[in-house]
Chains A and B, each alone.
Chain A
């Protein structure tokens, strides 16, 4: 290990290891040695072994690794798993061109590297870089049309002049977190994400827009003239969260005119991200699938990565941009073909909350799959980083178990409570493969399982814990079922500790630690979940107003630290389903079991907790 370190740090001063201190590794003949693999605990050919990349570079790209400094670099393992996007790489480089194949980036002119980059990846000098042919534009979402030079420079000036940013009525505009906004015709309400057609604004759409409307109709882009205009002004570093314009609020299509400067807008659907460059004075037409089923948003960044005709890409600094979004109110229910994303069709959908509470198991399972399991799978890494300190009362419960006990953690997450009691056998289960992978890396024993069907034989464990799990089940029957499964696998006389989130986050005038972490930032813009379930969305770090709700998780994607460029962190919002427990509700649920009794119940930092004891065999024959 020390040899590997020394070798890395003793290469020439301009070596990449100095440029990416601490967290990068230098490839070379050394890394092919068995000792190296062992020292870095990454077997040859494993995902984290740079050796793999030397082969890929040679075999696939015909690129030779160089042990001396050259003018070319290959940055390997720069994929999603290391959180290294092309934006981040571009920010680490000054004016230069970069080309990429899968997770390998090729850089020309290595003198352009900035210092202070902090990322996990492998960097190596190479003797050459492959030829890149000009690749075709990634295909746009269906229904998305981009019309360049839709307005003339003169019209652009006139349009911009028509907006007075210094004055506005409260209905007409507000300064949102990320941008300035003005409404004309009708007000778009960011609370409900809807428009009230009964309340037209005094501020009409400026007449300077008329030639633009005429052109739209003439070119058969729309059969109607827009009656609602939203003007947004973005400074560099500002953006708009990914969203779908409410189906029931507006007709198809939605039109957006870009003025003052270019920007990259991102379209997303089922994990696919399509960046689209919107040139200055272009009109973007969002129709069909692109309007109804894809989200669109602008990352709050100060620069964009733009594809060049030669197949490479480069970094463009943003300037102030003003967009005119033209829409027409829909004065009836939406009947689009994308019911999964449609609020109109959702209201008639069988998947409504009323049915969920009626023990509709199939619906409940769909809800939990979408708003619990899939979310944890996505946020696992970030979630785990925020979950390291065991709660003291759970810690002491696990630790008081006698040596030789078998302790099962149902919903073990990242394994926060596994491995605490060294003289017991601790095993965990969870629904998230990603979280179990984290447990595995920590050498904890786990299996993948649903808490409603534990794959253990009856009476096989001495103790169960289930911390912050049962509140993710969406019917009372399912919550009861999860508890009865734990009791089933418990040995007679064995105990289970159960924690669930309390609806009331204040007790004896004491705020829970959850409420105390409130940063009092106003959150005027609530991102709306894309979901077939009509559930209220909770505002984080506040009291819970509903018993069944969606709690947003802001997934921060790591940007560059210390790079001198701020706003490089991006955020995506995921919604987790919770059932919030009232006082006494958990005890009532437990009391429905005839082979266990509540030993103790208490309130602990915003959670209701019970210790449940399984009856000795002779008590209930």
Chain B
């Protein structure tokens, strides 16, 4: 699971959950992969990100040093190549291979196995 995917994942489909976001990460195994860097792509992705959720996610997998806590700390980020490369690295190249996601409201856990989060819910949970 890439942190970009995590930035969109939510447990809102659970009965009684209102927001279900962001999911807490407990990672047992984190892997780094290589992805081609693309400036336009990264700039547009940043506009879609929930930055707080990304920073918390990065922190929980030990990559908080790579990005600032507040996006507003960076001026003209779309022209800051070094910053964009760091964001690219955090959202696409850091992968949680084994671990768990946890619903912030109910504590329901979703296992991550072989890089794939299991987001299935039982019939009686939805």
Contacts and interface: CB of A to CB of B under 8 A. Distances in A.
Given A440-B114, A457-B10, A445 B5 contact: yes
Contact of B44 (A404, A447, A461): A404
Interface of B: 1-2, 4-5, 8-13, 20-21, 33, 36, 38, 40-45, 48, 92, 110, 114-121, 123, 126
Given A448-B117, A450-B120, A450-B121, A455 B9 contact: yes
A403 B41 contact: yes
Contacts of B2: 445
B123 to A, nearest CB: 6
Contacts, number: 84
Given A404-B45, A406-B48, A447 B11 contact: no
A581 B36 CA distance: 41
Contacts of B41: 403-404, 423-425
Interface string A101-139: 000000000000000000000000000000000000000
B92 to A, nearest CB: 8
Contacts of A445: 1-2, 5
B116 A403 contact: no
A453 B117 contact: no
29 contacts: A403-B38, A404-B44, A404-B45, A404-B48, A406-B45, A423-B38, A425-B4, A437-B114, A440-B114, A440-B116, A445-B2, A447-B9, A447-B117, A447-B118, A448-B116, A449-B120, A450-B121, A453-B13, A453-B121, A454-B13, A455-B9, A455-B13, A455-B110, A456-B9, A456-B10, A457-B8, A457-B12, A457-B20, A460-B8
B104 to A, nearest CB: 12
Nearest to B19: A457
Interface residues of A, number: 36
A461 B118 CA distance: 20
Interface of A: 362, 365, 402-406, 422-425, 427, 429, 431, 433, 436-437, 440, 443, 445-450, 452-458, 460-461, 489, 491
Given A404-B41, A437-B114, A447-B1, A461 B8 contact: yes
Given A403-B38, A403-B41, A448 B12 contact: no
Nearest to A455: B119
Contacts of B4: 425
A555 to B, nearest CB: 24
Contacts of B5: 427, 445, 447
Given A365-B123, A453-B121, A436 B116 contact: yes
A334 to B, nearest CB: 31
Given A422-B36, A423-B40, A447-B118, 13 more contacts: A403-B44, A423-B41, A427-B5, A447-B116, A448-B117, A448-B119, A453-B121, A453-B126, A455-B9, A455-B13, A457-B9, A458-B12, A460-B48
A454 B11 CA distance: 9
List 3 A-B pairs, minimum CB-CB distance, nearest first. A404-B44, A453-B13, A455-B119
B45 to A, nearest CB: 6
Nearest to B50: A457
